[in-house]
Amino acid sequence: MTNLSVNINKVATLRNARGENLPDVVKTALDCERFGADGITVHPRPDERHIRRSDVLSLKPLLRTEFNIEGYPSPEFMDLVLKVKPTQVTLVPDAPDALTSSAGWKVGAHLEQLTAIVDSLREAGIRSSIFTGTDSESILMAAKAGADRVELFTKPYADLYPTRPHEAVAPFVEASITAHKAGLGVNAGHDLSLDNLRFFHEQVPFLNEVSIGHALICDALYLGLEETIRRYKACLA
């Protein structure tokens, strides 16, 4: 089974636009769980332009599904995740001012840093996932670093899918096989949507989890959150 983790960053972006507590980020996360989500993902950035540290602290004792916190492993980020101890931490190479994740780690170039981070997560009982592209070298280096999983950056798939779906998915099939043979679990995320998720899921083996935020929250504006989650889960059935 492939789990659906709902990224609620965009809910926090909308809340922060007015400086009040509408929509309520914690209530939305709990509703996502109630409607069938298998996990909740947040990405607390240093400027707190969407998810805040206080959101992370509020969510942890209330969530009943897997809690995935993604971010660049700065000292401040690591202090937060080691305090909260979510189910999973996804390590991304984003600069502090990045609009969104735009590439995976070149793991070999950061092997010492990532190995130390993964070691500290393991000691705290936290599953680690390293955000990568489909290149086999980075995937194998993630295994060498001791990570539990990789998360494949799927924007290249989403961009090519409308015109050449089989060509778009082929590198991800190979990457997932490579990761599985190396003993890694496989997550995926970025620009996955109701348009392209079912095909991705049908083609890519060993897929443990997809993390979806922007498209899912946009769909919820038209379909409602409960129906949206139902449709995304149906793509993974």
Q: Which domain holds residue 119?
A: 3-235
Q: What pLDDT, on the 0 to 100 scale, is given for residue 53?
A: 97
pLDDT per residue over 54-79, tens digit each? 999 999 999 999 999 999 999 999 99
**Domain tally for the chain?**
1
When pLDDT is cut at 50, 70 and 90, the band that residue 16 belongs to is: very high
C-alpha neighbours within 13 Å on the C-beta side of residue 64: 9
When pLDDT is cut at 50, 70 and 90, the band that residue 99 belongs to is: low
Catalytic residue among 33, 50, 66, 70: 70
Q: Which of 128, 198, 214 is nearest to 157 (CA)?
A: 198
- Mean pLDDT rounded to a whole number for the chain: 96
Catalytic residue among 33, 43, 66, 110: 43
- pLDDT higher than threshold 90 for residue 164: yes
Q: What pLDDT, on the 0 to 100 scale, is given for residue 100?
A: 60
Distance CA 16, CA 39 (A): 23
Give the number of other Cβ atoms within 10 Å of residue 71's Cβ.
Answer: 24
180 is catalytic: no
Indicate left, alpha or beta for 158 from its phi (over 0: left) and psi (-120 to 50: alpha): alpha
Find residue 39's DSSP bridge partners.
Answer: 5, 66
Q: What pLDDT, on the 0 to 100 scale, is given for residue 94?
A: 75
Over range 14-31, report the average pLDDT: 96
- pLDDT higher than threshold 90 for residue 19: no
Q: Which of 90, 32, 19, 85 is nearest to 56 (CA)?
A: 85
Over range 80-91, report the average pLDDT: 98
When pLDDT is cut at 50, 70 and 90, the band that residue 120 belongs to is: very high
Distance CA 224, CA 172 (A): 31
214 is catalytic: no
Catalytic residue among 50, 151, 190, 209: 190
50 is catalytic: no
Q: Which residue has the tokens 């090519």?
A: 160
Q: Domain holding 175: CATH number?
A: 3.20.20.70
